[in-house]
Amino acid sequence: MAHERVAAIGAAMAHRLQTSFNLAVGSALASIGITLIAGITTLATGKTAVLQGVVHLVIFIAYLFLTIVP
């Protein structure tokens, strides 16, 4: 994710806004997709394990951290 951020900032500074936008949207969609897959696998069986709960907590903590410290 850090590499995509550096590439997006570099593209924006070089006035290649379409490339910068594509990198930012692609990164966001990848993050949403990972979260969606974790949610689907947890809810598909009707039962949850401790490990699945920990995965959701880690995703939530990462979200909070990246919201506060971008």
- Residue 50's pLDDT is what? 92
Report DSSP letters for 5-21, one per residue: HHHHHHHHHTT-HHHHH
In which domain, by residue range, is 34 found? 2-68
Q: Which pTM was predicted?
A: 0.62
**Is the Cβ–Cβ distance between 38 and 55 less than 8 Å?**
yes
- Residue 1's pLDDT is what? 56
- Residue 70's pLDDT is what? 65
The tally of domains found in the chain comes to 1
Q: Measuring CA to CA, which residue among 39, 69, 49, 3 is closest to residue 61?
A: 69
**pLDDT, one tens digit for every residue, the chain (70 residues):** 567 778 888 888 888 888 888 888 888 888 889 899 988 988 888 888 899 989 999 999 988 898 888 6
